[in-house]
Structure 1
Amino acid sequence: MKKRKREKRYWSIMLVPHSTNEIKVFKMSSIKYKLLGLGTIIATVIICTSLTITSLVRENKYLNEKIALANNLTEQQTLLIEENEQEISDLKQERIKQSKIAEEFKTLYKELTHKYIEENMNDIVATRSTGRADREFVESASKLKSILEELEKINYSDVEITTDLEDTQEKLTEYMNVVPTLWPTTGSVSSGFGYRMDPISFTRKFHYGIDISAPYGREIKASASGRVILSDWHGNYGKTVIVDHGRGITTLYAHCSSLLVSEGETVNKGDTIANVGSTGRSTGNHLHFEVRVFDTAVDPMEYLDPR
């Protein structure tokens, strides 16, 4: 008996024209069809891998920028602490020559040196990579300011020491006034800092601030003292106020319903500058709040007072 030849299997594609032309038939062998399917799968894997790599490169670039900014802030904070350490050291030496009140004053300053300058300084540097160094530094500076206010209640006979104390307190007060520690409005945080699913485009995008849910018209306060550099419509941000606090720090208050300050105006920490709204690219009443250091967005939660 003759062996029957194995029939080849084909896939046929028929094109039927609307005119009277004849029907066109294209044959494709089964193996070609499988190769085409395999090629499609490989191409899909390559495209997905490329998109993933691109996203990782972008996020890595952002993290590198954050590290550079963190190093810059650490240097500034270290300089401020060293300046306070020098002033405290000078006061300690002078107090040795003074009366009993001066001795008590020196003891308090000595305790301050050990607890703040040495221990807290090491903690701030050690925790810089955790993203909480800014918060800890602000808290430490606030604590130092409180201690200096208590020391001010003592009656000093030494005019030079009193002057040094006032200078130190003035510098700390100035520093704390320009750090955005005050919550700009009351309400819950509905969206944090960092990557999130955009509520309008439904794509993964970076959120450069925090959103605070609040009813329409609620007061918005300046988070720190400074000068208003923008009070106008600002693209997708809608009605916006931007305040320059010096030292490279600015804050932004967006989607306002009304603006209560003018450009060039000086505002103090806690002054009312606008009202909550939903102008610009917004899905509802809330305040979008940003903190920028040398025009780079940082997490506002690292500066705002704990609730």
Structure 2
Amino acid sequence: SGFDPQIKWLPELQISSSSTKGAITMSADGRVAVTSRLQVLRSDWQSGNVFTCEVSDKSLNTTVNKSISVCSGNPTTLNIITPASSQIAEVYVHGPPLQQLRSKEKALMNITCLLVGHNLKDFSISWKVDNSEYSRQNVHQQQPKSHSNGTETMQSFFGVSAEDWHAYKQVSCEGKHQCSNKGYEAQISKSRDLLPPTVKIIQPTASEMSSSNELVCLAFDFTPEAINITWFRDGTSELRDYNTSEPQRGADGRFSIRSHLRLSLIDFLPGVVFTCKVTHASFTKLLNLSRPGKTSSIHPVFSRR
């Protein structure tokens, strides 16, 4: 018949593995099939490289190309290997830790970017300062972590200069899937408002004292979000059996946080004083509480920057 198809894989310079051409077969209806299999490195495939199969035949004077990649999937069956749902991520960005905000040293300010999604190994994280792309310098990225609910998280840490941070420059973090043109971004900058928190302790009622109970320390209406809460007994012994939430931003841009200290009936004896210590960028506040029914006392201690 003179039919002699030639199969070639492109781009030839990028293909680091071998290809094999199978036998030519003919079906009952006279159709001819020729196969060629290409073996590629897993790293080449997962990095998103595009592989193209080019078939040509001199007798028919025609050339046909078909391409495939981890992003495009199978062009014949339209089977998308990377679904759109796996190309979406939530992005959260957190400012410098409290000790850096209170420090007078002109060091780097550590900004944290958190991605939440699926298959985060296929995502890249980039940083900008005032919309200018930042190099990989002063950037450290962790490997994705899997969680029991099926999601993954991945963190990237960026050290922005103290000069840029105190100049209120906007720091942005973008997460983007290798198969998508759309990025997911979050921004942060130094807050121009320095609002101290209002602090309260919620104590168990008399009826609650007969079962397991806890003290709750609330801090709210503050900004920026960097804050630390610790608990003490009788002013000296630091307690460990407590759980503190992450700061939550309200609709007005101010933050709130709560810390739960677990107690037993033996812990809450007459005369024992529990202290919730709240340290914020603006000051440190101590709130003392003894027994239910007795008046708590507040001793604010201001630490000027």
Structure 1 length-normalised TM: 0.23
Which has the larger share of helix? Answer: 1
| Structure possessing the higher radius of gyration over alpha carbons | 1
Which has the larger share of strand? Answer: 2
